[in-house]
Amino acid sequence: MSVRKETGFTLIELMIVVTVIAILAAVAYPSYQAQVRKSRMGQAQADLLELAQFMERCFASNNTYVGCALPFATSPRNGIPYYEIQFNPATTRTAFNLRAVPQTAGGQNRQICGTLELNESGVKRFGDLGTQADCW
C-alpha cells in the first residue's frame, strides 16, 4: 500500500481567501473613489486659479474685465469634463466671479464641496457641506 500525498487547496480554504479579498475590496474601493474625486476637485481648483490669472492679465491690458473670454470652459480641458467652468454673466468692469460646477461624470457631483467659486479679490467659496480645509 502506497501513501499518496495530496496537494492543492480545499474548497474551504479557497472560499476563505475569496471572502477576505471581498471584504478588503468593499472597504478600499469607496475610499479610492473618494480620493479620485478629491484629485479631480484639485484640478478644478488649479484651473480656477489659472483662469483668475488670465482675467487679471486681461484687466491689465484692457482696464476692464468686460469682454474677456475664457480660454477653456471645462476641467480638465481634455477628456471627460468633471467640472464645468462658468463665468458670471453679471461681470462688471471691476469684478468677476468664476465657478466650477461639478458634473455627474465620475460621480463628481457627490463631492461634498459642491460648486467652487473664486472672485477678483481671491475670495474662495464652496458648497455648504465641506469645510475650508477640505475644499480649498
Average pLDDT rounded to a whole number, residues 9-28: 93
- Contact of 37 with 107, CB cutoff 8 Å: yes
pLDDT of the residue at 91: 61
In whole angstroms, give the CA distance from residue 85 to residue 3.
Answer: 74
Q: Sheet of 83-87: strands edge to edge?
A: 74-75, 83-87, 97-102, 116-119, 124-125
- Contact of 97 with 114, CB cutoff 8 Å: no
pLDDT of the residue at 89: 59
pLDDT of the residue at 105: 85
How much is the mean pLDDT over the chain?
Answer: 88
Q: Indicate if the pLDDT at residue 20 is higher than 70.
A: yes
Confidence of residue 136 (pLDDT cuts 50, 70, 90): confident
- pTM value is 0.79
Q: State the residue for C-alpha cell 488649479.
A: 46
| Closest among 124, 75, 122, 78 to 101, alpha carbons compared | 75
In the chain the first and final C-alpha atoms are separated, in Å, by 76
pLDDT digits (tens, 9 = 90+) for 79-123: 999 999 998 755 678 889 999 999 998 888 888 888 999 998 888
